[in-house]
Homo-oligomer: A and B are copies of this chain.
């Protein structure tokens, strides 16, 4: 016999979206219960302590000054953050050569740099033109949604290097290849973050600061506050809706509630059964928002030795593992950590290989850029988010061509007593933790309005 409970609102998912919704709904006087599939909270934020005691993030790790909701939580919980290390030269690995440049953008030559700048400017203007709450109403929505971002890049660049750059940049931002998303989605996504420059830059932008004790600390603090309103290891299998209530089923429990907030990636929300079944437009949508694929690897050294060479640790690489390297050392530089990304199609190829094969390929690139010292690491740790049963990818769900303009209206539209949260539903920093928090706030208001 299953245990039965009841409350005002069931929140499904204890990532930052669900936790925010639960907190805000409680503040508004609702009794909430949070059902989380995993044995932990935090969703796509997951912090881990390395062998030497340093905490790193296997999931989301950066916060930007303009991510005001996350920054408010940082202040409220008095969580320590610090600026990402950027001093020194950055490197480019292109056509077999290593190019070293001062600053954070290791371009190839002046001609292609100019081309990248004019294309970035176009993208910036385009991003600013997207109505964030309804991208399908953009005057040029149909055309932009019918082409891939790859095609948009092709049409707006002229040099080999600028083409390489933007096709490299797409997986770095979206963790899918430029051919997998529509130009409209790209424009929307940059627009939601406040512009291309903000997404791209470290100082003042999307990679501005990091958490001493890991990004997951915010989730843990929210969870502490919510206490036993959170049920871990409780994957939801079925949500029933009747005239006067909804019933949410896990393997061991049924919960009756007036409203349900589903706070998870759209593709995973489709793995719950619904009775009555979801309307066609919702189901067609969630079939079309696949999660990105990224492998995040951290390699720890006894010291950030590249800094002594005048290097920032940043590498833009044409090799597909890693495609991007950052200095991810702790603030005090007590050890050196390099963060290596492999994203999009490359992550799928390399995800099918062994850890040893991946390691060998990555070390080869690091040795090319930083010398033989790069071999002498003390610890290596990697995370392939597609393997996580209850994330199935990162950083977020992405819209391929033709989805925004034919199904976009269903993204946030409640279905009866069910309301949708999660960073994919956000209009501010969609795909980021900030977007998750925004969605938790929005869905709270939606539930309150619906309850009258």
Contacts and interface: CB of A to CB of B under 8 A. Distances in A.
Contacts of A179: 145-147, 182, 401-402
Contacts of A386: 280-281, 283-284
Contact of A150 (B146, B291, B345, B393): B146
- The 4 closest A-B CB pairs, nearest first, are A280-B386, A287-B290, A277-B389, A345-B406
A146 to B, nearest CB: 4
Interface in A372-424: 384, 386-387, 389, 392-393, 400-402, 405-407
A345 B402 contact: yes
B287 A393 contact: yes
Interface in A274-330: 277, 279-281, 283-284, 287-288, 290-291, 293
A-side interface size class: 35 or more
Contacts of A389: 277
Contacts of A146: 148, 150, 177, 179
Interface stretch (A25-33, A48-56, A347-355, A357-365): A347-355
Given A280-B351, A345-B406, A400-B400, A392 B287 contact: yes
A303 to B, nearest CB: 34
Nearest to A146: B179
Contacts of A267: 287
A176 interface: yes
A201 interface: no
Interface in A162-195: 176-177, 179-180, 182
Nearest to A293: B284
B348 A281 contact: yes
A183 to B, nearest CB: 11
Given A267-B287, A393-B284, A176 B402 contact: yes
A270 interface: yes
Given A271-B273, A401-B401, 17 more contacts: A147-B148, A147-B150, A148-B151, A150-B401, A151-B151, A177-B401, A179-B182, A237-B237, A270-B270, A280-B387, A284-B293, A284-B386, A284-B393, A287-B290, A287-B392, A287-B393, A348-B406
Contact of A406 (B279, B349, B384, B400): B349
A284 B348 contact: yes
A115 to B, nearest CB: 21
Copies of this polypeptide in the complex: 2
Nearest to A287: B290
A180 B400 contact: yes
Nearest to A288: B290
Given A345-B405, A345-B406, A384 B280 contact: yes
A393 B286 CA distance: 12
A261 B364 CA distance: 42
Given A237-B237, A401-B179, A281 B352 contact: yes
A401 B182 CA distance: 10
Contacts of A407: 348
A284 B348 CA distance: 8
Contacts of A150: 146-147, 401
Of listed A271, A273, A406, residue having the most chain B CB within 10 A: A406
19 contacts: A146-B148, A146-B177, A146-B179, A147-B148, A148-B401, A177-B401, A180-B401, A235-B273, A237-B237, A267-B287, A271-B271, A277-B387, A280-B384, A280-B386, A283-B392, A284-B291, A284-B386, A287-B392, A348-B406
Contact of A151 (B147, B290, B291): B147
A291 B281 contact: no
